[in-house]
Amino acid sequence: MLGKTLGNDNLWFTTVGGIQPALNPAPGLAALFEQFAQGQLLFVPASETPALIARKSPPGQPLLDGVAFNTITPQVVAAIVRLEPDSPPALNPRAPCVPPNCSPSLKGNEGIVLSGTLHDLLVVGGTSDGTENGSPATAAWLLDVDHNAWEELSLPVGGRPGHVRAAVYRQHDMKTYLVERKDAKTRLVRYLPRDPVEVLGALDEDWDFPLSYLAVGDGGDLVFAGSAVPTGNEDHVLMCHAKNAKLHTLSVAPEAVPGHVALGDTLGPCLGSIGDDPGPKSSLLARFQVTHSGKVVFLGSKHLVTPLLGRPLVTADAVLVPVPSGKLARLRHVPFDELALAGEEHRSDEDNNGEGRNGDGDEHGKGNGKKKNDD
């Protein structure tokens, strides 16, 4: 993931090793980022983690980290690649597509996902007028990134995603997962090119944030993240406070930090603190397991006091979220255990008694980890 620190011109990129500065960005990369920031181009990151892309890519092939996508043309104008899993990003320009292969016509609320292992870009969903009330697009579009050639994929009536808020490709089942707003509900759906769209269920109403993200980990875990829009003026500092041999996470003002440190409190949340951060609910993380039979099981959620600066990274046992740290950026490490439901064990595909089935229209809620019937 590529980003920019708040309030200055430093570029950074994210790997499982943390946030690293791009001290000497490749020629054209800084200018390209300005086009991202100004909305002239859309940065579409690869859905897979850097480690998974490295494992699945042929030896010696540059690792596809993302693409610069012109939504007006539409076409991929450049690929952002890495020579090694933890090397800085470099720019690989693409030749322009030749009409009539430059399709489709975009309205701004489509799901656009990139597979760094397949080198395919999928555009699915969206509406005729760019709002959640418009008519859903009648087709999805698949782009061969290496050759800039589009293929149109018809969608059946009744199985067309509408206003898409987040999308991600899951390499483990080769399906795209979408968060869409349709019929006054926020729903989780999934799509395999040339197959009907599956409705997995409705999300809790209090998960409705201005910014939404989906991410997939190396192990196949699906994480939904919602966030308020970062302002650059976030002033909440999380600290771990020890009282009567018990650890408790506090949210304090920056000017109060020295006093807390003097009393023995430490910076950052207490490790293993299950449940929401104290303070305002500026963002949310929710984790799902996709079983071998395709069932989607909700495993827990957690509200964070800070907004997110971009899509999370998901490892084998934690979610890494880019958050503001003053005018800088840092990765916050949120172990899966902090998202787990208190007092409830994770259930396997064999013992979940049929919960989390596809297409049942139920609601993914946070209360007891079970899906609730709409009726």
Handedness of CA 189, 356, 322, 306 (dihedral sign): positive
Is there a domain that residue 363 lies in?
no
Domain ranges, residue 59: 2-228+277-343
The pLDDT value recorded for residue 25 is 61
The pLDDT value recorded for residue 360 is 39
Is there a domain that residue 9 lies in?
yes
CATH of the domain at 23: 2.120.10
Is there a domain that residue 18 lies in?
yes
Is there a domain that residue 271 lies in?
no
Is there a domain that residue 165 lies in?
yes
Q: What are phi and psi of 265, to 5 degrees?
A: -70, 155
Degrees (nearest 5) of the Cα angle 196, 201, 207?
Answer: 130
The pLDDT value recorded for residue 252 is 80
Per-residue pLDDT of the chain (375 residues; tens, 9 = 90+): 555 443 334 444 544 444 444 545 666 777 887 787 778 888 899 999 888 898 999 888 889 989 999 888 788 889 989 888 777 788 888 877 766 666 688 889 999 999 999 999 999 999 999 998 999 999 999 999 888 888 999 998 888 999 999 999 999 999 999 999 988 889 999 999 988 899 999 998 889 899 999 999 989 999 999 999 887 666 677 788 877 667 778 878 778 888 888 888 888 777 767 778 877 788 999 999 999 999 999 999 999 888 998 889 898 899 998 888 766 677 888 999 888 674 443 333 333 333 333 333 344 554 433 343 333
Residues 6 or more apart in contact with residue 182 via CB below 8 angstroms: 132, 136, 161, 162, 163
Do residues 104 and 150 lie in contact, with contact meaning Cβ atoms separated by under 8 Å?
yes
Q: HSE, CB side, 13 Å, CA atoms: give it for residue 351.
A: 4
Is there a domain that residue 234 lies in?
no
The pLDDT value recorded for residue 202 is 93
pTM: 0.81
Is there a domain that residue 236 lies in?
no
Is there a domain that residue 250 lies in?
no
Q: How many domains is the chain built from?
A: 1
β-pair type (111-115, 211-216): unpaired
Question: For residues 94 and 96, what is the distance between their CA atoms, to the nearest angstrom?
Answer: 6
Q: HSE, CB side, 13 Å, CA atoms: give it for residue 182.
A: 25
